[in-house]
Amino acid sequence: MANAERIRFRPFKVTAKIRESETITSFHLKPTNPSYWTPFEAGQFLTIRVPDKNSDGFVLRNYTVSSSPEDVGFYRITVKREGARQPDHADGLSSCWLHDCIEEGALVEIDGPRGAFKLDRSTQRPVVLLSGGVGMTPMVSMLRQLSADKNRRVSFIHACDHGGVHALHGEVAALIAANDMMQVHYCYRFPRIEDKANGHFHSEGVLTKAGLQALLPLDDYDFYLCGPRPFMQAIYDYLREMGVSDQRIAYEFFGPASLLKAGGHVTEHAQIAPVQKMAGSGEHKIHLQRSQRDLIWDNDAVSLLDFLEANGIEPEFSCRAGICGSCEKRLISGEVCYFEEPLDEPAHDKVLLCCARPSSSIVLDL
């Protein structure tokens, strides 16, 4: 294990373990040393070291913080138990470890927070928080932060199978009730008899374009999306068909952005988050030495990885957050800047494509 990784991961104590639904549990994490806690922005995630039972090492997993940035001194993550029938599955390995092995008083090692999927608080545009399943976790953090603003309209729209798997229902209800500028809509795909009796949902089936149009009067919204891949694909397509520009859609999504934007079938498993673009020159040239291709940098691209994918090039990647090192490539010449600090700083002749942008013309070993 690299020395930098040992230093960056700090011990946090589990001070509460709360069952939120049939499949989802929250963990409250308090640092063993108060200095280990650092501020975060709604939408960001923590990286947790999970013991790998197939080796003597660890695997790294990312979990979004579901508590509010105003909750100083601890983090809350809200985790769905995945892969119960396949505990060796990548998602199941970590979520089953948390659900089955971690109790109150246990210590877990955390690096964070980080991530580019963040609530933009520099504007008063109305906000739509759209989520599916456990994708509600960043949305609840955003909703908690937005709840203090009595002038910004917020629509919280969530889809899940039924009330048994609907987490944090009471928390969201309390926030909505306390702010007249907020509204909520729940869509249950398979509502149970008791769901129909208690009236905890508003529509049945799946979210549709017509349903969204009925919920949202014409306006210049900021949309935030998070959920399973089919949900994300459908919602993104609906919004684009409704005339919503890419600049108004921020999302946390598993797979290359180029596939989402093309309406393609998503089969990859990496996390990305288009966000506000950084300043930079669009005249930088990107030369790919092995394939002998010359490209002109598009300043609307979030990262070098995003830019390459948009040009039909598919470098290897995994975390898309500067953590795993899968997208590291040789930088033959030129300079890059990192908008997300890598977990381990690459060598001077290497670049992590997922969290870097060119600050000059560059040559890549691709």
**pLDDT at position 326, please?**
81
Region 304-327: mean pLDDT is 83
Sign of CA dihedral 349, 283, 114, 244: negative
Sign of CA dihedral 234, 239, 245, 249: negative
Task: Kindly tell me if the per-residue pLDDT of 93 is higher than 90.
Answer: no
154 neighbors 186 (Cβ within 8 angstroms): no
Of 153, 157, 227, nearest in space to 186 by CA: 157
* Token pair listed for 115: 């991530």
**pLDDT at position 280, please?**
45
Region 100-112: mean pLDDT is 95
Q: How many CA atoms lie within 13 A of 163 on its CB side?
A: 14
Q: Residue 55: how many CB atoms within 10 A of its CB?
A: 8
pTM: 0.79
Alpha-carbon distance of 276 to 2, in angstroms, equals: 32
344 neighbors 138 (Cβ within 8 angstroms): no
Q: Measure Cα distances from 297 to 82, 146, 362 in Å.
A: 39, 35, 10
48 neighbors 39 (Cβ within 8 angstroms): no
83 neighbors 26 (Cβ within 8 angstroms): no
Of 342, 271, 305, nearest in space to 90 by CA: 271
What domains lie within the chain, and their CATH numbers? 3-114 (2.40.30.10), 127-272 (3.40.50.80), 285-364 (3.10.20.30)
Which residue reads 């039924």 in tokens? 162
Spatial CB neighbours of 347, under 8 Å, sequence gap ≥ 6: none
Task: Kindly tell me if the per-residue pLDDT of 20 is higher than 80.
Answer: yes
Of 329, 330, 357, 354, nearest in space to 343 by CA: 354
Name residue 77's beta-bridge partners.
Answer: 27, 65
pLDDT class for 282, splitting at 50, 70, 90? low
* Arithmetic mean of pLDDT over the chain: 86
Task: Kindly tell me if the per-residue pLDDT of 44 is higher than 50.
Answer: yes
82-88-90-93 Cα dihedral, nearest 10 degrees: 60
Q: 348 in helix, strand or coil? A: coil
Q: Is 152 exposed, middle or buried (0-12, 13-18, 19+ CB in 10 A)?
A: middle
Alpha-carbon distance of 143 to 137, in angstroms, equals: 10
Task: Kindly tell me if the per-residue pLDDT of 342 is higher than 90.
Answer: no
Name residue 338's beta-bridge partners.
Answer: 356
Spatial CB neighbours of 92, under 8 Å, sequence gap ≥ 6: 81, 82, 83, 84, 86
Of 254, 258, 248, 250, nearest in space to 272 by CA: 254
Segment 108-166, tens digit of pLDDT: 999 989 888 899 989 999 999 999 999 999 999 999 999 999 999 999 999 999 999 99
Helices (H), the chain: 3-8, 90-101, 136-146, 169-177, 193-198, 209-215, 229-241, 257-262, 304-310
* Token pair listed for 194: 């008791």
110 neighbors 7 (Cβ within 8 angstroms): no
**pLDDT at position 238, please?**
95
